[in-house]
Chains A and B, each alone.
Chain A
Amino acid sequence: MSTAVVVLIALAGGTYVLKAAGPLLLGGDRRLPPWLHRLAFLLPAPLLAALVLTSTVASGKDLVFDARVAGLAVAAIALRLKAPFVVAVVAAAAATAVVRAIGG
């Protein structure tokens, strides 16, 4: 087996265990205890906030503030103006492209 195939199998297996632990151990018809329910309700906010920032400015271990920051700002303005999801996303891409074109 090539190294790539070994990595593929090990990573796929390990990733699946991480993905399935929650649904298999806590899911089903079992009722979640209230604290876990509340935890599940609250978790998306910090996770999404972290994903927003890391996908904007994290490049490996460096923080890179480039045209994507402008795109994110435009998306925030669009959302503030109650624009639909798609409009906010497309506006972010357009703003980023324009800033890059101007910045050379």
Chain B
Amino acid sequence: MTWTDADQERAIRGQALSIALAVAPFGVAFGVACSEAGLSVWEAIGFSTLVFSGSAQFAAVSVLADGGTAVAAVTSGLLLNLRSLAFGVAMAGALKGPVWWRALTAQLMIDESTAVGSVQRTDALKRYGYLAGGVAVFVLWNLTTVLGVSVLSSSEQLIEDLGIDATIPAAFLALLWPRLADPTQRIIAAAGAVVALALVPISPAGVPIIAAAAAVVLARPWSDAPTERPVAS
């Protein structure tokens, strides 16, 4: 492949926009969930800007809607977000810059920005992908939250009828796909998938994804020897 950086950046912007469009219907659904839980428009916007983490927002608001305590709502959200720690480790090397800049852009540390960023080839393109994915999702997520909480109140059926809920797994798969060409990554991806599936029925949401990260031990990341190097006698 002899793509220039400009070509790469255009492709990355396409990925960022696609994934943001895939997430947008869930912003609507979150807004609807807020209105059902009795939250005001401003509270809904507060969640989507200040928490900015789809699954944790859903978890917390659904606990509130079910009459759960504040502690239960916060705990369920934070458990789901433990994976942000792993994402942060995965992205840290590429997120250069002054402390204030890293502090600001850290708010964009979500599934989609990490997915678009981490699969790029160079640190500069990783950073570009992270920011493009993060900003695109942030803007659309907040616009659609407002739409959901203030205008629409029964759009969940429409999301299902149009199959829009299938776009998120498809987008994750599309980002994973190129990595599966590498045998090592194929193995740890498969192992991670098995671990996650096995844990879904017995652990709180979010934990299966964190546990799947442990599959990297199969690739022995602590050993200095890259996989290409011939085995020394």
Chain B 150-178 interface mask (CB, 8 Å, partner A; 1/0): 00000000001111111111111111110
CB-CB < 8 A to B96: which residues of A?
Answer: 27-29
Asked if A49 and B190 sit within 8 Å, CB to CB, the answer is yes
The residues of A that contact B139 with a CB separation of less than 8 Å are none
Is residue B209 contacting chain A, with contact meaning CB distance below 8 A? yes
Contact with A along B114-130 (1 / 0, CB 8 A): 11001100000000000
Give the distance in Å from the alpha carbon of A34 to the alpha carbon of B223 in the complex: 9
A90 to B18, CA, bound (A): 9
- The answer to whether B215 has its CB under 8 Å from any CB of chain A is yes
Residue of A nearest to B222 (CB): A35
Asked if A52 and B176 make an inter-chain contact with CB atoms under 8 angstroms apart, the answer reads yes
A 31-45 contacts with B by CB, 8 A:
32, 34-40, 42-45
Distance between B204 CB and nearest chain A CB, rounded to angstroms: 8
A89 to B216, CA, bound (A): 27
Contacts of A52 in B (CB 8 A): 169, 172-173, 176, 193
Choose among A7, A76, A84, A85 the residue that contacts B70 (Cβ–Cβ < 8 A). A7
- A: contact size bracket: 35 or more
The SS class assigned to the B binding surface is helix
- Range, interface on chain B: 35 or more
Q: Are A45 and B192 in contact (CB under 8 A)?
A: yes
A18-B85, A22-B92, A47-B90 known; A61-B201 Cβ under 8 A:
yes
A92 touches B119 (CB 8 A): no
Closest to A98 in B: B163
Q: Report whether over half of chain A's contact residues are helix, strand or loop; otherwise say mixed.
A: helix
Nearest A residue to B15, CB-CB: A85
Interfacial residues, chain B to chain A (CB-CB below 8 A): 14-15, 18, 22, 37-39, 43, 46-47, 50-53, 56, 60, 64, 70, 73-74, 77-78, 81-93, 95-99, 102-103, 105-107, 109, 111, 114-115, 118-119, 160-177, 179-180, 184-186, 188-193, 195-197, 200-203, 205, 208-209, 212-216, 219, 221-222, 224
Between A and B, 19 residue pairs with Cβ closer than 8 Å are: A8-B47, A10-B70, A19-B53, A20-B103, A21-B88, A26-B88, A32-B92, A36-B89, A40-B93, A43-B118, A45-B176, A46-B214, A47-B114, A48-B115, A50-B192, A53-B196, A61-B201, A92-B166, A93-B170
